[in-house]
Amino acid sequence: MSAAQWPQWLRDDRGTVTAELAAALPAVALIIVMMLGAVQAAGVQIRVVDAASAAARSLGRGESTGAADSVAGALAGSHELSSSTEGEFVCATVTAPVVFGGLGDSGGLRVSARSCALAGGK
């Protein structure tokens, strides 16, 4: 059977744009979601950097680890704080999970930042 003998509905191009759009739409939606997730992760990274520097300055002034942790918590939200002393510097490392919208933890994606300040408030 040649193409000329096919029924009219098989030779017609109507609906092809709709089918192509339906096939491409999930890929476009996935790309948009991934871009929004990357922006969200960048925002968390900025907050973590600020929290680490504020915690390091707090520890450098001689404040307690609890006070530095509360400063970091105010800036980064849910986080983990660790500190160390390196010579005349005190360093703070803040790690926080990346949470996409209201969906909860992103499956283990965490961002971290480290900052140091001169100990003793010098």
Give the tens place of pLDDT for each residue, 35-76.
988 898 999 999 999 999 999 999 999 999 999 999 999 999
pLDDT at 104 over 90: no
- Predicted TM-score of the model (pTM): 0.75
58 token code pair: 């707090």
54 token code pair: 């504020």
Supply the pLDDT for residue 14: 72
Share of the chain above pLDDT 90, in %: 57
pLDDT at 32 over 90: yes
Q: How far apart are CA 53 and CA 33, in angstroms?
A: 31
* Nearest by Cα to 62 from 114, 2, 119: 119
DSSP for 76-115 reads: HSS-EEEEEEETTEEEEEEEEEEE-TTS-EEEEEEEEEEE
pLDDT at 13 over 90: no
pLDDT at 8 over 90: no
From residue 14, give the alpha-carbon distance in Å to each of 3, 4, 26, 53, 111: 17, 17, 22, 61, 50
* Nearest by Cα to 93 from 69, 67, 66, 70: 69
Supply the pLDDT for residue 107: 64
| Amino acid (one-letter) located at 47 | R
